[in-house]
Structure 1
Amino acid sequence: MSGKKQELPVSDKPLATVESPMTETIKKKKKKKSKHSEETQEVEVPQEVTNGEELSNKEKKKKKKRKREENEMENKKKKETDKVPEDSGVSNGGESEQKVVVTGKDVEEAKYAALTSFAESKLPENVLDCCKTFQKPSPIQSHSWPFLLDGRDLIGIAKTGSGKTLAFGIPAIMHMLKKNKKGKGTRNPTCLVLSPTRELAVQISDVLSEAGEPCGLKSICVYGGSSKRPQINAIRSGVDIVIGTPGRLRDLIDSNELRLSDVSFVVLDEADRMLDMGFEEPVRFILSKTNKGKWLRNQQLIATWPMEVHKLAQEFMDPNPVKVVIGSVDLAANHDVLQIIEVLDDRARDQRLVALLEKYHKSQKNRVLVFALYKVEADRLERFLQTRGWKAVSIHGNKAQSERTRSLALFKEGSCPLLVATDVAARGLDIPDVEVVINYSFPLTTEDYVHRIGRTGRAGKKGVAHTFFTQQNKGLAGELVNVLREAKQVVPADLLKFGTHVKKKESKLYGPHFKEIAADAPKAKKITFADSDDED
């Protein structure tokens, strides 16, 4: 249940004994394993060895020993260097071994070859300063940078924690350095990043602010639930990059405090999520205010690809965008997460939650994230847990941004390592050491389930996701079974009782999705039938 690798027991007995009539027995080495290190006792070798065959055996054993020690040192170094931040560089999840599919016009040209190192990009040192702690570009970066740096429109699809922010961030910085003519007075932004949630916007802003600082680029993050005045003052002082949520961006545009006429590099991060939350109209409005003269060369889209996103891209992107898919477009969960599904009655969830916390959070020091479906439910769970002695905080859409920021800070720093959240934290929470996710309520879509449990098992670590599944969720049983089977997880018999039928993919607002349309598919042609009185 802990998700840790099982270690084989080590015997104190020698593996073999080699005897010779002319020498004493050669004593085999013994290994003594501790939690963090391995000590090796040296082999005792007799002084006299006259048998040639025995001498040969001795040399072979020495070579094997040296080889084993070299391998152990290499593995140790690899583990140390692989401990990298999640949002850039090398992913520990084995993503480099995943299937990579690149489609679009002229994608096989030599200039678009995937990068194998940062040096191959030939970018300035100050631009790559934010990548200095990473060994090489992550797969989404190595395959997308050549296209984005060449001004191509791109749809990038990769799992969470794969370095997507710098995948569009580095090309955005280069675009701005080429475009911006820095001078005195107010500067309008050149780059715009749209995000569906405040938490994700802040996370993107942190990465881009750090990346742009060595290049002298200023960024600002704007979102609702907080005072406009500091955001307006920052915009008036001049900014290069604006990261924000659709609602607040539109407010600032309507009040003439934000002008996007110079924006020629646009990013829609988690575009499917934005449209699913009902932001299509404000997104269209915001995009219409950007530099349409340069639109076809400079709009970038980083998101998953359901049908409504395809329609938006058809309207605002180049007719032949590049599409880079790392892994599979099929719904799949992180394989480093142990998924436990428990089918139970609604009324049993409260006591079962307490029992799981006593199991997973007994020390009240490790980080545990509890997901609720509704804001009211999150508030109730927070009070319920607090009255039973648990130190818990919550975040959801009804809380002021200052409260959400404070709760998240307490969770990150470990002062209050038990967080109750709605799906606002399903995609915007980037904390590598969340050990356990508990889904008190199953989400409205299986995609949200995959994103929720992806909050644990990050940066190469193992995680546990314990989920309550009730009668009300039976319509999603088939999709959940597929996710479990793909990740080689146990499918409980009680879940199979609901059936394995998979409904057509359905959006919360737009209804069912049909067959996905390829990014480079030709547009449909209008067919006109002439009127005729002829009979067949």
Structure 2
Amino acid sequence: MHILSKRKGKSTRGAKPLCLVLAPTRELADQIAVVIRDAGEPCGVRSVCIYGGTSKGPQITSLKAGADIVIGTPGRLKDLIEMDVLHLAEVSFVVLDEADRMLDMGFRQEVRSILSNTCSARQMIMFSATWPLDVHNLADEYMDPNPIKVVAGSEDTAANHDVMQIVEVLDDHLRDQRLLALLEKYHKSQQNRVLVFALYQKEAERLDGMLRKSGWKVVSIHGNKAQEQRTKALSLFKKGSCPLMVATDVAARGLDVPDVEVVINYTFPLTVEDYVHRIGRTGRAGKKGVAHTFFTHHNKGLTGELVNVLREAGQIVPPALLKFGTHVKKKESKLYGAHFKEISADAPKSKKITFNSDDED
């Protein structure tokens, strides 16, 4: 934390931090804040975590008391900047965590607006699971002309080899029955951690209710829940008090939950990259894990990419999956996770519309 060495004693700068950390989701921002707080407090470094879904009042009070480091999600950060509560002119160190996800979630304009308020001589670190065109452009725009690029593992889409991947092709109407059977297999003791992924908020809510009615103790997190409920559910899951959780992709990236033994993909995600992130919640820190995935005819456009991931990891490719073909569909856009054509720079700007997403505000 050499950038903070100039500050001695109690800060009188108010809401003028020297370091800014951006994260795409509330849970990830909170996780980062805990690590920074544990490391910084013994050194006198003060940090504040701000995100949507909760009252601005306590966050504003904390900022006005002074902070060396601010961690937050783009939407709430931009709100507080516009309210003249947060001033970033002295920020000389910026971290973008899960930069690709942040841009893919529709925060491109917010991120650029926030960065434009920081010191022009800043240092900047970007963590990105993939290197799409938008992240590359952001790096070109806001980083030094020749930034150092560090690649851990492969730049190609590849899954953790410590995870046993089981892909099951079945009809939509059979998924509930099959999920209950898998929980009897993988979670009979109700002691081990099992994470079930759904694609949409309403689907996650329905699964939560269905599992409760079937006698399972379960918690869930998704964008339609109050932040207090999300925080409590994740805490119960992490502690093992309720080791079965249903989640949308809000829990697919970055979250460090120890000892998740099994991931079940009730609904296949929109991209194979998201599939790789989901199953990466298990098999962590050198441990083995299991990822059991339901694949239906609605997902057939992703068959080729999925087969490539399975083969690269030495996993079994079910014959029923191969019946959909192995052609890899050419993406219409170079933007990761996007399913729309790129538009020219002089085209009219579109209005942002949210469809049951887990975008932060």
TM-score, with length taken from structure 1? 0.61
Match of 1:271 in 2: 99
SS at match of 1:332: coil
Letter in 1 for 2:112: R
Report the secondary structure of 1:501's partner residue. Answer: coil
Q: 1:184 to 1:452 in 2, by over 3 A?
A: closer
Residue 313 of structure 1 and its aligned partner are, at CA, apart by: 1.3
Unaligned runs of 5+ in 2: 343-361
Structure 1 residue 227: deviation in Å?
1.3
Change (3 A) 1:512 1:497: farther
Pairing 1:481–2:279 present: no
- SS of aligned partner of 1:262: coil
Contact 1:440 1:468 in 2 (8 A): yes
- Indicate whether 1:281 and 2:109 are aligned: yes
2:63 to 226, 235, 239: 235
Query: Whose Rg is larger?
Result: 1
Residues 54-111 of structure 1 deviation map (CA, whole Å, 9 limit, x = unaligned):
xxxxxxxxxxxxxxxxxxxxxxxxxxxxxxxxxxxxxxxxxxxxxxxxxxxxxxxxxx
Quick one: distance in 2 between partners of 1:401 and 1:480?
A: 33
**Post-superposition shift, 1:181?**
4.9
Q: Give the match for residue 78 of structure 2.
A: 250
Structure 1 residue aligned with 2:119, among 268, 272, 291? 291
Contact kept in structure 2, 1:250 and 1:282, CA below 8 Å: yes
Matched, 1:192 2:20: yes
Give the SS at the match of 2:151: strand
Gaps of 5+ in 1: 1-172, 514-536
**Residue 382 of structure 1 contacts residue 393 of structure 1 at CA under 8 Å; is this kept in 2?**
yes
Alpha-carbon distance in structure 2 between the residues aligned to 1:182 and 1:479: 55
TM norm structure 2: 0.90
| Contact 1:278–1:509 (Cα < 8 Å) also in 2 | no
Deviations 1:422-462 (A, max 9, x none): 00000142112111000000000111101100111111111
Who is 2:90 aligned against?
A: 262
d(CA) in 2 for partners of 1:438 and 1:252? 38
Cα distance in 2, alignment partners of residues 190 and 465 from structure 1: 41
Residue 494 of structure 1, aligned match among 301, 309, 320: 320
In 2, distance between residues paired with 1:253 and 1:442? 38
1:371/1:437 contact within 8 Å kept: yes
Identity of aligned residues (%): 69
Residue 175 of structure 1: how far off its partner (Å): 2.1
| Shift of residue 503, structure 1, vs aligned partner | 2.0
Counterparts of 1:241 and 1:272, CA distance in 2: 22
| Cα distance change on mapping 1:218 and 1:488 into 2, 3 Å | same
Shift of 1:299: 2.0
How far apart, CA to CA, are the structure 1 residues paired with 2:339 and 2:177? 37
Q: Does 1:370 align with 2:205?
A: no
> What is the match of residue 356 of structure 2?
none
1:303-452 equivalences under 5 Å are 303=128, 304-452=130-278
Partner-residue secondary structure (3-state), 1:436: strand
1:174 paired with 2:2, answer yes
Deviations 1:359-383 (A, max 9, x none): 0011111111000000000000000
Structure with the greater relative contact order (CA < 8 A, sep ≥ 6): 1 or 2?
2
Which residue matches 1:53? Answer: none
Correspondence 1:447-486 to 2 at 5 A = 447-486=273-312
For residue 302 of structure 1, what is the aligned residue in structure 2? 127
The count of aligned residue pairs is: 337
Q: Write out per-residue CA displacement over residues 275-327 of structure 1, whole angstroms, 9 at most, x where no aligned residue.
A: 100000111110011112x13xx122222311111111111111111111121
Mapped partners of 2:326, 2:338: distance in 1: 24
Aligned-residue CA RMSD (Å): 1.4
How far did residue 174 of structure 1 move? 1.9
Distance in structure 1 (CA, Å) of the matches to 2:11 and 2:204: 48
Task: Specify the SS of the correspondent of 2:253.
Answer: coil
Distance 1:302 1:182 in 2: 32
Q: 1:6-43 CA distances to partner (integer Å, 9 max, x unpaired)?
A: xxxxxxxxxxxxxxxxxxxxxxxxxxxxxxxxxxxxxx
